[in-house]
Structure 1
Amino acid sequence: MISLNIVIVKKVVTFFSLRIFKAAAGKAKPMKATLKYLAGIAGPSGYGSKTTAEQVTQDSSCFYPSHLTAIITGATSGIGAETARVLAKRGLRIVIAGRDMKKAKEVRENIWKESPNADVLVLEIDLSSFASIQRFCSEFLSLGLPLSILINNAGLFSQKLEFSEEKVEMTFATNYLGHYLLTEMLLEKMVETAENTGIQGRIINVSSVIHSWVKRDGFCFNNMFNGTNYNGTRAYAQSKLANILHAKELARQLKAKNANVTINAIHPGIVKTGIIRAHKGLITDSLFFFASKLLKSTSQGASTTCYVALSSNTEGVSGKYFADCNECNSSSLANDESEAQKLWNNTRALIQKRLRQAAT
């Protein structure tokens, strides 16, 4: 993740610097948005860039019945672990879905230290493996638990070209295909739970602002899963764009079926880590101070996920994109419904083909 973090920080600093430059030239709107972000000024939701997951879930607009169950992928560290901690603290049953069982159990132990009565389950999943996803879903469904919240949080960034056991480029397989299949296999349970409880099911795809780096002429399904002309940052950005398109198309299908389940995509923000400080020289001292003001803490990074998952303000909202706990605009490509349907159809065909091959 080192290279990706540095690339993102440099681009974000450049982006905000350009906004300020344009504002100085007489364009006040970019300057206003930049200052709003830096100051953490609340948007229409009442929250902003500085809001933490704790603050969001303390609000009376959030609900968390004791029988609510949430699955969180990639909850073994970072934003995923913080999301699990805060939701468990509010009384939800948490299923930590992770590849590293040692880390998953450590997260569970830390949650129990703070919330001794928390109901936390640990189940193994490798999102790059269709077989592992099938085993996970079979194991979870055999427990007979309801399912109201699915947070597709796990993310992979790989500098080198690697392939999954299904011969799919690893970043695309993990970040997008794995979550697509996981969602498909758990969707019936979510619809059933919503019907039985009257509580709307919510699916959250954790995307990224860097989805907007992808240009229309560079978004080719075959190239993505084959890893043609591979570039790690581009592959990551494409997978995050795919997460938004997935949310848009599934939202359309759920609405057509009158299912009481929503799906939205979110940008958690760029979270402050030790990696950034360790590479201060690469960013340059003159930019480091500015860059540090643009980065979020882990709890601030988890806030938008918790807001979309629990707030009454997002009741019935589906197929949208959120950042800083507010609905916002994604790229024009991410808003293209025909592109979303095309990606859905290609994805479904690929997964069915790979599953048939595995069965023979």
Structure 2
Amino acid sequence: MFDAFYFLTGGTSGIGAETARVLAKRGVRVVMAVRDMKKAEMVKERIIRENPEADIMLFEIDLSSLSSVARFCSQFLSQDLPLNILINNAGVFSPNLEFSEEKIELTFATNFLGHYLLTEMLIEKMIDTAEKSGIEGRIINLSSVIHSWVKPDCFSFPKLLHPIRYNGTRAYAQSKLATILHAKALSKQLKDRNANVTINAVHPGIVKTGIIRAHKGLFTDSLFLIASKLLKSISQGAATTCYVALSNETKGLSGKYFADCNETNCSDLANDESMALKLCTQSRALIHGYLDESQKHYLPNVCLM
């Protein structure tokens, strides 16, 4: 079954590492795109100890850097490998205002823009793979229920890139709203093309992963103390991602939002088609400025927005 390629970002810990383990156990080739290759090698070794037949490929990528994402995609696509599933899992939570290499707010750059560019550059390969194999391609965006905290007047593209008054929790919520809007917009365009590729967003649940552990403090400690009875294990947190990626029950479903392995409702703002179109139009215009002509060659034949 190794002719099936499942691509995952951020698989070095937490939900991502568990997702990689489950996928490898299913007998597919797992491609992990990670920032920390040393940690990735350790995850790979653990998976192979459990499952000696596992086939895992590692690539280095910094999702906060648009130039890094573009270089990676060019490298990956030059190998002419198939691509069946793309899981946009990697994420950061930055309590303090930080900026990416391109001077974009770090949380938004990593959680949304990097994955947006990654998806744009890989989508034609996914469409081609699905057409040749007859197997539905699937894209899964990791989101969060916290997306519902965002108010319309707080979701302005210029302010997402360069916030004036920064709040880490708000920035994280905004980035997770953006991942749902991306799924909604891209789903519509894929349907218009009759492409055999779906895209959905998932909420993994409240899981105390490395994103939170790296930022100890009174607020996060108190939040998890209050929510302790609702906390999921790492394996439970990865369950919805794996369900949407692997289950026959999700075949043909696109532009949806899942939690606890069930389709559920997202916020009204996340369902705003005009907001989704505007976000993707602005994002595409932005990323074009960071690509050379050879990299633009990999972008969709039509504007996926």
TM-score (norm 2): 0.90
For 1:180, the aligned partner's letter is: Y
Structure 2 unaligned runs (5+)?
296-305
Query: CA separation of 1:183/1:273 partners in 2, compared to 1, >3 Å: closer, same or farther?
Result: closer
Tell me whether 1:258 sits opposite 2:258 in the alignment.
no
Aligned pair partner of 1:147 in 76, 83, 98: 83
For 1:196, the aligned partner's letter is: K
Aligned-pair identity in percent equals 67
Tell me whether 1:83 sits opposite 2:22 in the alignment.
no
Tell me whether 1:327 sits opposite 2:278 in the alignment.
no
After TM superposition, give the deviation of residue 120 of structure 1 in Å: 0.3
**Distance in 2 of aligned mates of 1:172 and 1:321:** 20
**Distance in 1 of aligned mates of 2:153 and 2:102:** 26
Corresponding residue number in structure 2 for 1:37? none
Q: Given that residues 148 and 200 in structure 1 are in contact (C-alpha distance below 8 angstroms), is that contact kept between their aligned partners in structure 2?
A: yes
Structure 1 window deviating more from structure 2 (135-144 vs 255-264): it is 135-144
**SS of the residue aligned with 2:198?**
strand
Q: Given that residues 2 and 55 in structure 2 are in contact (C-alpha distance below 8 angstroms), is that contact kept between their aligned partners in structure 1?
A: no
**Bigger helix share:** 1
Corresponding residue number in structure 2 for 1:41? none
Tell me whether 1:347 sits opposite 2:283 in the alignment.
yes
Tell me whether 1:216 sits opposite 2:152 in the alignment.
yes
After TM superposition, give the deviation of residue 272 of structure 1 in Å: 3.8
Aligned pair partner of 2:185 in 234, 239, 249: 249
Corresponding residue number in structure 1 for 2:239? 303
Q: Given that residues 171 and 235 in structure 1 are in contact (C-alpha distance below 8 angstroms), is that contact kept between their aligned partners in structure 2?
A: yes
For 2:236, the aligned partner's letter is: Q
Structure 1 unaligned runs (5+)?
1-64
Q: Given that residues 14 and 209 in structure 2 are in contact (C-alpha distance below 8 angstroms), is that contact kept between their aligned partners in structure 1?
A: no
How many positions carry a matched residue from both structures?
290
After TM superposition, give the deviation of residue 104 of structure 1 in Å: 0.7
Corresponding residue number in structure 2 for 1:92? 28
**Distance in 1 of aligned mates of 2:170 and 2:68:** 26
Tell me whether 1:283 sits opposite 2:283 in the alignment.
no
Q: Given that residues 94 and 119 in structure 1 are in contact (C-alpha distance below 8 angstroms), is that contact kept between their aligned partners in structure 2?
A: yes
**Distance in 1 of aligned mates of 2:51 and 2:77:** 26
Q: Given that residues 206 and 267 in structure 1 are in contact (C-alpha distance below 8 angstroms), is that contact kept between their aligned partners in structure 2?
A: yes
Query: CA separation of 1:128/1:283 partners in 2, compared to 1, >3 Å: closer, same or farther?
Result: closer
**SS of the residue aligned with 1:184?**
helix
Aligned pair partner of 2:42 in 106, 109, 115: 106
**Distance in 2 of aligned mates of 1:168 and 1:101:** 24
After TM superposition, give the deviation of residue 261 of structure 1 in Å: 0.3
Q: Given that residues 88 and 141 in structure 2 are in contact (C-alpha distance below 8 angstroms), is that contact kept between their aligned partners in structure 1?
A: yes
For 1:129, the aligned partner's letter is: S
Tell me whether 1:236 sits opposite 2:169 in the alignment.
no
**Distance in 2 of aligned mates of 1:355 and 1:92:** 31
